[in-house]
Chains A and B, each alone.
Chain A
């Protein structure tokens, strides 16, 4: 089971919307059984970022973890959703 973390600044607003969309996408792609979703805020996760296989963030993350994080803002704006999911899929399949 892969661990997918969705985080935003507060863990309360945008990450909840993103979570709903990702859950749908997982279902559509028959990946629901392979991926477990976690929702949180950036400040709670910085120290344990390596616990996750895939990380989506709608907010700024510190430079030292930047490379591990996929930008989740496309799910809010509708711009660039496809290439975002390509990255997510690549991480799930890795």
Chain B
């Protein structure tokens, strides 16, 4: 249960959530784990069903879209140099400053469930959220994830 090296971006510099979503979506597209149109689908889905989570001390977003856009289930990660604003999940009028994005390319609900549950567990603990935000590279990130019970 690891994140792929080519799907992890540390210190990504972007001006908007759209830009960040495009960067991550294109990476998934490049290695062929998602279909053409995935990026557009993610952007549209984020508008309709926002995925920002007001976790402490930094916000996290978990953008995702329908399974039929996905060939192989993977998770892409970006740590942003400066936070960008996402709308909060379940709300369309509250913004959250997001520092970390986990883009979920999931084919079926069961895929990567263990990883997803683990990540959600990490989001609920300010200490691990802080550690995530201090990640320097993919190895440190994977170690942090595997060290978290």
Contacts and interface: CB of A to CB of B under 8 A. Distances in A.
A60 B91 contact: yes
Interface of A: 8-17, 20, 39, 42, 57-60, 71-73, 75-79
Nearest to A18: B120
A65 to B, nearest CB: 13
A76 B53 contact: yes
Interface residues of B, number: 30
Interface of B: 45, 48-51, 53-55, 62, 64-67, 88-92, 104, 106, 108-110, 113, 116-117, 120, 123-125
B123 A10 contact: no
Given A12-B109, A17-B116, A76-B120, 12 more contacts: A10-B67, A11-B109, A14-B89, A15-B109, A20-B113, A58-B90, A59-B89, A73-B89, A75-B120, A76-B53, A76-B89, A78-B55
A8 B125 CA distance: 23
A83 B29 CA distance: 41
B143 to A, nearest CB: 23
10 contacts: A10-B45, A11-B109, A14-B51, A14-B89, A17-B116, A59-B49, A72-B90, A73-B89, A76-B120, A78-B55
Q: What are the 3 tightest A-B residue pairs by CB atom distance, in nearest-first order? A: A78-B124, A9-B49, A16-B109
